[in-house]
């Protein structure tokens, strides 16, 4: 089904030269519907593909197989409370994934509030579109009826339409710019591990070697990284931008931030096409999927020095662009 949508999108218009786009869609579970809600908002082929891969196959696959239900309580995250960035071809999808239930009280599936974007820098999207997504998430969650959800989505799309006329367009290079201080910050997020940056860079290097560079057709890799109390989508933005610089646009990427009201924050990366096995991470706790900084890699002195030099360079650059990851 996903391949069908991708072929359908390609027939409509080639990726190169497509006009800028900001389009909101809400789907999933909501009390205003007795079962899965109908998609509210725009239904472009890329968003339909994303929904099928992420929600129908990914979340639905883990629910139908019992993969999450069979997790011991100590290994299961309490509920959906995620922010994500999906990057593929020439577009991004920014979304909130929050716990919800339908009109009959069934709560296995989440509510997804998403914006598909094309032609704008990831930094601008996180800064300006991100708050709109959170506002719509809260409004939709508080809405008691389907009509109220539709009204909230319509108002959100109107705000996005106004933003479309003011946001500067971005080229591919702008999508990959990460400030040096920001890169140093996410690499050192696990303050309990003094060698956290070394272990993170090593994990990324091994994952990318496995996946293949520049849109290679290797296996899909999942990494769990530490996250401090950064602003929403901060960590996801850094990792998506950095990995796009290494892998290029065609390789699909997902970055999730798990942001519960209480408890540890987590960042999960999926490099390559995501299936149910990779999206298992959405409900698996650190006891089941440990952080990269907790895995006892054997690291040689030369590699440690290379990472140490990279961190020092990033810190010295402050707000200037960080160099590419040393992988």
pLDDT of residue 169: 87
Beta strands in 68-203, from DSSP E residues, in sequence order: 81-88, 91-99, 110-118
Tokens of 54: 């992420």
| pLDDT value for 219 | 82
| Helical (H) or strand (E) element with 310 | helix 301-317
Residue 57: what pLDDT?
97
Helices (DSSP H) in 165-266: which residue ranges? 172-175, 180-187, 196-211, 234-247
- Bridge partners of 256, per DSSP, are 84, 268
**284: β partners:** 76
pLDDT at 170: 83
Asked whether the CA dihedral 27, 56, 105, 264 is positive or negative, the reply is negative
Q: Which of the 8 DSSP states describes residue 322? A: P
Among 27, 249, 248, 247, smallest CA distance to 118 is for: 249
Averaged in consecutive runs of 10 residues, what is the pLDDT profile of the chain (327 residues)?
Answer: 39 60 98 97 96 98 97 93 94 97 97 97 96 98 98 98 90 82 94 89 90 65 93 96 83 94 88 95 95 90 95 96 93
pLDDT of residue 251: 85
Q: Looking at residue 15, what is its pLDDT?
A: 47
Q: Which domains does the chain have, with CATH numbers?
A: 2-175 (3.40.1730)
Cα 32 to Cα 104, 111, 151: the distances in Å are: 10, 12, 13
Q: How far apart are CA 283 and CA 112, in angstroms?
A: 15
Question: pTM of the predicted model, to two decimals?
Answer: 0.91
| C-beta of residue 176 within 8 angstroms of C-beta of residue 316 | no
């Amino acid at each position: 089904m996903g391949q069908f949508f991708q072929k359908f999108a390609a027939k409509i218009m080639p990726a190169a030269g497509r006009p800028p786009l900001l389009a909101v869609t809400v789907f999933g579970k909501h009390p205003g519907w007795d079962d899965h809600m109908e998609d509210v908002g725009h239904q472009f082929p890329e968003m339909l593909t994303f929904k099928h891969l992420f929600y129908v196959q990914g979340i639905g696959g883990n629910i139908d197989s019992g993969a999450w239900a069979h997790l011991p309580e100590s290994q299961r995250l309490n509920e959906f409370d995620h922010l994500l960035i999906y990057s593929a071809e020439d577009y991004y999808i920014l979304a909130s994934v929050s716990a919800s239930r339908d009109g009959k009280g069934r709560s296995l599936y989440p509510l997804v509030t998403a914006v598909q974007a094309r032609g704008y820098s990831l930094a601008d999207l996180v800064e300006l579109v991100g708050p709109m997504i959170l506002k719509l998430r809260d409004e939709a969650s508080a809405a008691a009826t389907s009509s109220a959800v539709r009204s909230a989505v319509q108002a959100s799309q109107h705000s996005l339409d106004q933003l479309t006329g003011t946001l500067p367009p971005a080229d591919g290079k702008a999508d990959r710019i990460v400030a040096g201080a920001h890169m140093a910050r996410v690499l050192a997020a696990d303050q309990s591990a003094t060698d956290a940056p070394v272990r993170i860079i090593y994990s990324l290097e091994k994952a990318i070697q496995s996946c293949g560079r520049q849109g290679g057709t290797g296996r899909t890799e999942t990494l769990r990284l530490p996250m401090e109390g950064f602003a929403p989508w901060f960590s996801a933005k850094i990792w998506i931008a950095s990995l796009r610089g290494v892998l290029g646009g065609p390789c699909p990427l997902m970055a999730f931030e798990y942001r519960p009201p209480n408890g540890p924050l987590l960042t999960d990366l999926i490099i390559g096409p995501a299936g149910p096995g990779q999206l298992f991470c959405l409900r698996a706790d650190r006891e089941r999927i440990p952080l990269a900084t907790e895995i006892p890699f054997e690291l040689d002195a030369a590699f440690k020095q290379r990472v140490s030099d990279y961190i020092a360079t990033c810190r010295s650059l402050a707000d200037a662009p960080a160099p590419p990851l040393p992988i």
